[in-house]
A and B are shown apart, each in its own frame.
Chain A
Amino acid sequence: MKLFDRYNQVNLIAYIVLTLITGIAYYQAISWVLTRQKDKDLQNEEMEIAEHVHVNQQLPQIFDSKYLQIGFKKATPNSIKRKFVDTLYFKKWGKDNPKRLAYHRDGNLEPGRGLITSVTLGGQYYKVVIVESKVETEDLIRIIFLITAGVILLLLLALFLTGRLMLNRLWRPFHSIMHELNLFNITEPSTIPMLDTQIDEFRAMNIAVTKMAAKAKQDYSTLKTFTENASHEFLTPISIVNSKLDSLLQTDNFSEKQSKLLDDLYSGVSRLNRLNQSLLLLVKIENRLFQEWQSIDLKMMIEEMIVQFEEIYQDKQLTLTCHFEAKEILASPYLIEVLLSNLITNAIRHNYEGGSIRIELTPAHFIISNTGAREPLPVEDIFTRFHKSSGSEGSGLGLTISRQICENFDLLLTYRFDSPYHQFIINF
């Protein structure tokens, strides 16, 4: 849910509740005021009646009036308590009112306000009922209420629209920072630009983000430099161990046990060396140090490479199926050789005796498929550094390097399991 929607939702509920409360209060207030007004009218009428009775010593004559009805009724003395009541008012329709025909009635009941009081005329106690129609009052209340509600609705609409416009405008720096963050790539030299915004919060956020990005980049570059330097420094000691082993081999006769030890030493140093070379290569690719791009005939390169691997896959009795179409790409020949050699090595190494390998090259893609483990490989892990299948003799960097090489040339290396084949796909 967007912040703005959430904000509106809360606002809208608050507004509606508030409007309802206001409306009710307003209605009550107006109603109260107008009823008091009515009561005053009724009191006037009562006074007039009392005066009339006092002066004329007779009950006033009752005229038909549109809004006022007065009734007298004999009653036992002092049985009447003076009070105002909400009551109904029977409104008589005029003789030619079409409603008479339509409803077959003389009139209809309307809300009214009444005053029950008493008057004594010549010893006779009378109950006096004065009823006034409240229709007009109600109408008035309704009109006032409607106008008020209308104004409130308009206000809400205005608030909503300005809110939307304002917020969109206000949040623009935020979206712009988000956009920059999404584009951020730690390996790219570009930085997150400073925004031109008046809003303190966004300015603070922008500064924090810019700082963080710069720090991340610096840490990354420090780490890279460290890896590169470390790998470089390893070269000399490895060289020394290697040459001393070669020298040791020239000395006297060795027992079987000693030569076994020597063998293990050799293979250990050799692995260490390959690992180190792979790290160096990786750092160099990441630093984009291989920039001599050439047009490469991929078909020829793959065919040459297969010859180099011939003994190895034949020894494992692997069936190799090839389908090559002409394809040229612009890249560093050295890196493409490394890439192809890594993929082919993997296809052989992770295969079983008598398995098969399929290599396909079309203008659209390069696919190398091999039989091997029955289960698909964990896609998220295989391209990470030092991820190795158990018992693998490799450095654990082969696929990382391969993917890095592909990224270097804007190619995409993906893995797919199409039983029984493990496939590595490069899309051109």
Chain B
Amino acid sequence: MKILIVEDEQALRESIEDYFSEAGNVCEIAGNYADALTKINLYRYDCILLDITLPGGSGINLLKNLKENNHPDGVLIISAKNSLDDKLEGLDLGADDYLVKPFHLSELKSRVTAIIRRKSFNGSNLLKFNEISIDLLGKQVKVGRQIVKLTPKEYGLLLYFIANKDKVVSKNAIAEHLWGDRIDIADNFKFIYSHIKNTRKKLMEAGCKDYIQAAYGTGYKFSEE
């Protein structure tokens, strides 16, 4: 997939670029309003990560420009402005999602993957990963032909892992993804453990390979290896 990262903070931009750069992905970057405007008018992207506050102009204007020209690029706003108005304005203008700084890279990846999936599947709502197939509309998971009954949290966890496959996902990121950042009780780490244990058990009982590995006590990795 082809991604444009519009972000003025170099360190953050590099982290995102790093995280998204993998086989089959192309990442381009823009550090200011003018660069970004040139790029969105010249090339098409699967998803544009758009910071609102940029040197030289507002990301909201870039979004307007995209929509005026009927460009189909997916847009994810990343902003430090945690204001509901900004969020609503961005979504009203046609942004696909809105993520507030600071965020975990795995969360960003999962959101971007979801946007691209929605944009490109064109009606087909089936997500496949080796023997696992997921019906995104019906929220049904199958291993081979066998249906696996997952709870909503386990289902969310599986999607999150698949979006971040081959990456180590931290426990903090998983906790925030499953419970939101408003619930800040530190000991929901142990619930992560039990959710992961259950998901793994259910998948393996249905004949799935063991893809989920604990990574140095800090996080988990979903990988074929």
Cβ contact within 8 Å between B217 and A256: yes
Within 8 A of A (CB), among B46-71: none
For the complex, is A148 an interface residue (Cβ under 8 Å from B)? no
Given contacts A240-B9, A259-B217, A289-B83, whether A247 and B184 have CB atoms under 8 Å apart is: no
Given contacts A253-B216, A345-B183, whether A266 and B172 have CB atoms under 8 Å apart is: yes
Cβ contact within 8 Å between B84 and A274: no
For the complex, is A42 an interface residue (Cβ under 8 Å from B)? no
Q: How far is the CA of A257 from the CA of B188 in the complex (A)?
A: 23
Cβ contact within 8 Å between A263 and B18: no
Q: Which of A239, A274, A284 is within 8 Å of B181, CB to CB?
A: A274
Interface of B is mostly: mixed
Q: How far is the CA of A260 from the CA of B9 in the complex (A)?
A: 29
For the complex, is A410 an interface residue (Cβ under 8 Å from B)? no
Q: How far is the CA of A394 from the CA of B182 in the complex (A)?
A: 12
For the complex, is B171 an interface residue (Cβ under 8 Å from A)? yes
Q: How far is the CA of A394 from the CA of B187 in the complex (A)?
A: 12
For the complex, is B213 an interface residue (Cβ under 8 Å from A)? no
Chain A's closest residue to B81 (CB) is A232
Within 8 A of B (CB), among A234-249: 235-236, 238-247, 249
Cβ contact within 8 Å between A240 and B218: no
For the complex, is B133 an interface residue (Cβ under 8 Å from A)? no
For the complex, is A368 an interface residue (Cβ under 8 Å from B)? no
Cβ contact within 8 Å between A243 and B105: yes
Cβ contact within 8 Å between B219 and A249: yes
Taking CB atoms, residues of chain A closer than 8 Å to B24 are: none
For the complex, is A207 an interface residue (Cβ under 8 Å from B)? no
Cβ contact within 8 Å between B15 and A240: yes
Within 8 A of A (CB), among B143-201: 167-168, 170-173, 179, 181-188, 190-191
Cβ contact within 8 Å between A239 and B101: yes
Write the B103-128 contact mask toward A (1 if CB under 8 angstroms, else 0).
Answer: 11110000000000000000000000
For the complex, is B211 an interface residue (Cβ under 8 Å from A)? no
Cβ contact within 8 Å between B170 and A246: yes
Write the A343-387 contact mask toward B (1 if CB under 8 angstroms, else 0).
Answer: 001001100000000000000000000000000000000000000
Interface size class of B (residues with CB under 8 A): 35 or more
Q: Which of B16, B167, B182, B217 is within 8 Å of A263, CB to CB?
A: B217
For the complex, is A200 an interface residue (Cβ under 8 Å from B)? no
Taking CB atoms, residues of chain A closer than 8 Å to B12 are: 236, 239-240, 243
Chain A's closest residue to B186 (CB) is A393
Taking CB atoms, residues of chain B closer than 8 Å to A290 are: 84
In the assembled complex, the CB of B20 is this many whole angstroms from the nearest CB of chain A, namely: 11
Cβ contact within 8 Å between A236 and B182: no
Write the A281-323 contact mask toward B (1 if CB under 8 angstroms, else 0).
Answer: 0001000011010000000000000001101100100000000
In the assembled complex, the CB of A340 is this many whole angstroms from the nearest CB of chain B, namely: 10
Q: How far is the CA of A395 from the CA of B186 in the complex (A)?
A: 12
Cβ contact within 8 Å between B173 and A236: no
Cβ contact within 8 Å between B80 and A260: no
Q: How far is the CA of A235 from the CA of B101 in the complex (A)?
A: 6
Cβ contact within 8 Å between A239 and B184: no
In the assembled complex, the CB of A285 is this many whole angstroms from the nearest CB of chain B, namely: 12
In the assembled complex, the CB of A337 is this many whole angstroms from the nearest CB of chain B, namely: 7
Given contacts A277-B181, A341-B183, A348-B185, whether A246 and B9 have CB atoms under 8 Å apart is: no
Cβ contact within 8 Å between B182 and A341: yes
Given contacts A267-B172, A309-B183, A394-B184, whether A273 and B102 have CB atoms under 8 Å apart is: yes
For the complex, is A103 an interface residue (Cβ under 8 Å from B)? no
What residues make up the interface of A, taking CB atoms closer than 8 Å to B? 232, 235-236, 238-247, 249-250, 253-254, 256, 258-260, 262-263, 266-267, 269-270, 273-274, 277, 280, 284, 289-290, 292, 308-309, 311-312, 315, 334, 337-338, 341, 345, 348-349, 393-395
Closest 5 CB pairs of A and B: A259-B216, A243-B15, A239-B102, A246-B105, A235-B80
Given contacts A239-B80, A256-B216, 15 further A-B contacts (CB under 8 A): A232-B81, A246-B173, A254-B216, A254-B218, A262-B216, A262-B218, A263-B218, A266-B218, A270-B184, A280-B82, A308-B183, A309-B183, A312-B185, A315-B191, A348-B185
Q: List 24 A-B contacts (CB under 8 A).
A: A236-B12, A238-B101, A240-B12, A243-B11, A243-B12, A243-B15, A244-B11, A246-B19, A247-B18, A247-B19, A247-B105, A249-B218, A259-B216, A266-B172, A270-B172, A273-B102, A273-B181, A274-B184, A290-B84, A312-B187, A345-B185, A349-B185, A393-B186, A394-B184
